[in-house]
Amino acid sequence: MNASDPFRDNADLIRAFEERSLTGGLKVPDRVLFDLEEAREDAVRCSHFSVIQGGADTLKREQQTGNTLKREQRTFAFLRFAAVLALFTCLTWLLIPSAPSTARVVITSPGDEISATQPTIAWNSKDQPGQKYDVWILPAAGDHLTMPALFVGKSVTSPVSFAQLQPGKDHAETALLANTDYRVLVCLAEAGRIAGVPIPFRVKP
């Protein structure tokens, strides 16, 4: 690759200096003037591009800053909502009464179908010895929380003979009826019916 020769490349400009008049006038060749004008225009274009590019960079930075601020605001709003939701959940959990555990009580008598109209009520439990329970015998249909009980035993321990149960309000029967469906419910004493699950059974004809 041949190296550039500055004397040859600028021969016209050198000749102009050599041929200048004694009065000091200098005739610059047209080609040199064209090159100088083109260089000036290039410099102006570069200057404009730098200004435009600088403005674009500034705008881009401002947009990035605005986007970052919006993301931070959204994140803060989400965290505030999550904190309020967590607080509401905790308050709800604390204020709503929880039912005592009923998984410890397993009714063993009466079974699914019995023939006795005065059956013994018995159950197994993992509670401490001497734990007291409430017992209800209910109709087969209706809400067990509000349905009037047919027979009730309060603060008793397993097993409970039918004679220990008291007839419910406005219930005059002293025994169960044959060919009839019932439910028995056993809960921790003083815990209410919400603490247990009614178990269905049937008295044979």
194 DSSP 8-state letter: G
- CATH architecture, domain defined by 106-203: Sandwich (2.60)
pLDDT for 23: 47
Task: Provide the pLDDT for residue 97.
Answer: 52
pLDDT of residue 59: 64
Q: What is the pLDDT of residues 111-160, one digit of tens each?
A: 999 999 999 999 998 888 889 999 999 999 999 999 999 999 999 999 99
Tokens of 5: 């020769």
Burial of 169 (C-beta count, 10 Å sphere; 0-12/13-18/19+): exposed
Which H or E run contains 109? Answer: strand 106-109
CB under 8 Å to 187, separation ≥6 — which residues?
100, 102, 105, 133, 134, 193, 194, 195, 196
Asked if pLDDT for residue 180 goes beyond 80, the answer is yes
Residue 155 DSSP SS3: strand
| Residue corresponding to tokens 């004493």 | 189
